[in-house]
Amino acid sequence: MGDNRDVSGVRREYQYAGLDRSALSSDPVVQFSHWMDEALAADPGDATSMTLATADATGYPSARIVLLKGFDQQGFTWFTNYRSEKGKQLEENPCAELLFYWKALERQVRIRGRVVPVSREESVEYFNSRPLGSQIGAVASHQSQPIGGRELLEQEVERLTKVGSVECPDHWGGFRLVPERFEFWQGRESRLHDRFRYSATDTGWHVERLQP
Ligand SMILES: Cc1cc2nc3c(=O)[nH]c(=O)nc-3n(C[C@H](O)[C@H](O)[C@H](O)COP(=O)(O)O)c2cc1C
């Protein structure tokens, strides 16, 4: 494709709703919970998918989607392979950001903080709750490592399927992002979007409106 592909005309208006300071909870986790309820109602299959942005020790960023598996005042949890690229980056540099884009609601939420591994018990409990196929997939895949062909992965899955059961590997488990900052974004007409940022302070959450 030689010619530059012009996509500059692709645009839409955002007019689903407004966001007012008075309607916001003083607790960002409660606010997130309200928005998650609405996102689940609007799009149950994809509401929990979130972009996880990490950076290595040199500062080079990487982003990918993972699935949120739980959240509370302690933080936001997902599960993965600790030896994956994201796992290695989080070991080098625990600072990360989560990003939710809820298209139907014209909303975006950013959550920044530090990431810690969840307890082994929590990881094993979640692992054992997954369908057997997903458990086998997690054991068979050396996530983020190159592989010569798909058939090698399929052979390993077949071998493990014959064994009949697998255990949660030590290198597989959960991470929890402990939030330090949230931003709630609601799209508005003519790009005059509503944005509110919550920052953690010694006395609680400080909320301010940001320009769009
Ligand atoms: C909708 C969706 C959900 C995903 N959920 C997960 C997940 O929960 N955990 C995970 O490790 N990878 C998940 N992935 C795959 C990741 O995006 C990524 O390819 C993989 O984790 C390897 O990333 P890394 O090499 O940066 O570590 C998901 C991908 C998509 C598109």
Is pLDDT at 16 greater than 90 in this prediction? no
Q: Which atom of ligand 1 is nearest to the CA of 87?
A: 27
Q: Which domains does the chain have, with CATH numbers?
A: 21-128+171-210 (2.30.110.10)
Of 21, 64, 120, 191, which residue is the catalytic one? 191
Give percent of the chain above pLDDT 90: 95
What is the Cα–Cα distance from 127 to 139, expressed in whole angstroms? Answer: 11
Is pLDDT at 14 greater than 90 in this prediction? no
What is the tens place of the pLDDT at every residue in 31-53? 999 999 999 999 999 999 999 99
Annotated catalytic residue 191: yes
64 Cα–ligand 1 center, Å:
6
Q: Which residues contact 61 (CB under 8 A, 6 or more apart)?
A: 53, 54, 55
205 Cα–ligand 1 center, Å:
31
What is the tens place of the pLDDT at every residue in 112-153? 999 999 999 999 999 999 999 999 999 999 999 999 999 999
What is the tens place of the pLDDT at every residue in 84-97? 999 999 999 999 99
